[in-house]
Structure 1
Amino acid sequence: MRTLRAVVSGMVVAALLLLTGCTGVVTGTAQRPAGAVPDDLPPLRESQLEPLLLSVDDLNEMVNSLTMVLVSDVEELQDNAHVVSDPDCLGSIYSAEKDVYGTGSTAVRDQVIREPGDDNEHWAEQTLVLYPSAAEARDIVGESESKWTECGGFSVAVDDPQGSYIWQVEDARSEGDVITQVVAQEDADGWDCQHAMTSVSNLVVETRACAFGIGDDAEKMAAEIVDRAAKAAK
């Protein structure tokens, strides 16, 4: 498997393989660290979301690819808790998940961009989730940071009709307003993904970038989206 989204396409899941701990519900209280984005930005509206998304050309340039294309563009959250061996680690493995974002969001934009075919060398996902208030958006990031931290150092299995895959979850990092985490797929020749999440005003920004030996592309994606959002909110 080369694409994370391929794990959930047309999924009818068999019994899951429970590999490790990482159990127990973890909650967090979000507190925004000192960062470049002001805390007092006006709230964003749903009509402002589309220009915040990175274009295919933007992403091709960012990850040094020429052929990535848009393969998924949806306005709803996903539900993949049943395909992972530990649902508490769902947010470490997948983006745009209902169990992560809860029921309070008011708008969602989620896009997957990658090279065509099954043997793509780059894969990216960008997710925007809007809330009524900045506090609610920060809470989502805080709760996610707690769960990502608890899942660091564990293995998580994903099971679908195409086979079973195991992801090694690295420790979460927090830098300024952004949390990041890398997951590496076992026996996949170095295929791994960097995951990033942050908030700006009443918007949660979540990004994921995968490649053979990933760098900080997801973090760069999130930073660019946050910059656009901050300018749009002023």
Structure 2
Amino acid sequence: MDNGSVRSRVDRRRAWVLAAMTALMLPMTACVETVDGTALRGHGAGLTDVAPLDESRLDSVLVGIDEINSIMGATGMEVTGELDEMSDHSADVSDPDCLGAVYGAEAPVYEGTDWTAVRDQVAREPGAGNDHWVEQAVVLYPEERNARDFLESSQAVWRDCANNALGVGDYLWELGAVEAADLMLTQVTTQEGADGWSCQHALSLVSNVTVEAWACGYDITDEAARIADAMIRNAAG
């Protein structure tokens, strides 16, 4: 399948999430200080020192579909789109400065970070009436410092966009408060008028990569953070 076809499939899945019912800050203080190696304590990932990754490892960082189904409490989710390049949906949001809070693997968001490779994957149930939707993305940088810089800048963006409504296409999303613990950022975003359809967004890092996940459904709690944890474990394996 060519990249144009794959991009179209991923874009349609993202559009579906934003139209779900008709068919994506607190300071971290010392936890983002530079240290030797990567000390990971976020959301139960454990204390791990991880050697730098290269592009050949990125696919193995992504969480397998069986584990995705387990985390989401689902049985029929399938991988429906994959990309190895950044997208640009800045024209779709009412405040482009908040693009990184609602979309993943976006070229404007990662501009200037010196990223070198990306893997972006979407999973959901097949058909129109999906109950669950997940996106996971892993981004590679030359050094750990680049990953930490991105985490710090994202913290500021998410904080500035929190507790506000953001237009995405024809839909309005309420961005909740940002939670920061160790090296993990999380935020829940709820679509207005969609009977509680919401997405948890999680962002963390391990060595010289950032891991990001969105978990969407009707009873979302900490699923995106759990997926990010699993990505960290995969990177450390």
Q: Does 1:132 align with 2:133?
A: no
- Specify the SS of the correspondent of 2:177: coil
Q: Does 1:167 align with 2:166?
A: no
1:4 & 1:115 partners in 2: Cα distance?
11
Contact 2:32–2:183 (8 Å) recurs in 1: no
Q: Give a deviation string over 1:41-74, Cα, whole Å, max 9, x none.
A: 3210111111111111111111111111111111
1:91 & 1:211 partners in 2: Cα distance?
20
Query: Could you tell me which of 59, 62, 80 is aligned with 1:53?
Result: 62
**Structure 2, unaligned runs of 5 or more:** 1-11, 19-29, 34-38
1:52 & 1:74 partners in 2: Cα distance?
14
1:131 CA drift (Å): 0.3
1:31 aligns to what?
A: 32
1:8 CA drift (Å): 9.2
- Specify the SS of the correspondent of 2:53: coil
Contact 1:168–1:186 (8 Å) recurs in 2: yes
2:106 & 2:47 partners in 1: Cα distance?
25
Contact 1:56–1:68 (8 Å) recurs in 2: yes
1:206 aligns to what?
A: 212
TM-score of the pair, normalised by structure 1: 0.82
Q: How many residues align?
A: 206
Q: 1:34 to 1:68 in 2, by over 3 A?
A: closer
Q: 1:5 to 1:188 in 2, by over 3 A?
A: same
1:74 aligns to what?
A: 83
Contact 2:176–2:187 (8 Å) recurs in 1: yes
CA RMSD of aligned residues (A): 2.2
Query: Could you tell me which of 91, 101, 125 is aligned with 2:100?
Result: 91
Query: Could you tell me which of 187, 191, 212 is aligned with 2:193?
Result: 187
**Structure 1, unaligned runs of 5 or more:** 10-28
Contact 2:115–2:141 (8 Å) recurs in 1: yes
Equivalent AA in structure 1 for residue 236 of structure 2: A
Contact 1:194–1:216 (8 Å) recurs in 2: yes
2:70 & 2:58 partners in 1: Cα distance?
22
Contact 1:128–1:206 (8 Å) recurs in 2: yes
2:146 & 2:16 partners in 1: Cα distance?
30
2:173 & 2:52 partners in 1: Cα distance?
36
- Specify the SS of the correspondent of 1:59: helix
1:229 aligns to what?
A: 235
2:202 aligns to what?
A: 196
Contact 1:100–1:140 (8 Å) recurs in 2: no
1:109 aligns to what?
A: 119
1:181 & 1:4 partners in 2: Cα distance?
20
2:158 aligns to what?
A: 148
1:134 & 1:37 partners in 2: Cα distance?
16
Deviating more after overlay: 187-196 vs 221-230:
221-230
2:55 & 2:187 partners in 1: Cα distance?
28
1:93 CA drift (Å): 1.1
- Specify the SS of the correspondent of 2:151: helix
TM-score of the pair, normalised by structure 2: 0.81
Contact 1:195–1:206 (8 Å) recurs in 2: yes
1:30 CA drift (Å): 8.5
**Deviation beyond 6 Å, 4+ runs, structure 1:** none
- Specify the SS of the correspondent of 1:70: strand
- Specify the SS of the correspondent of 1:43: coil
Equivalent AA in structure 2 for residue 52 of structure 1: V
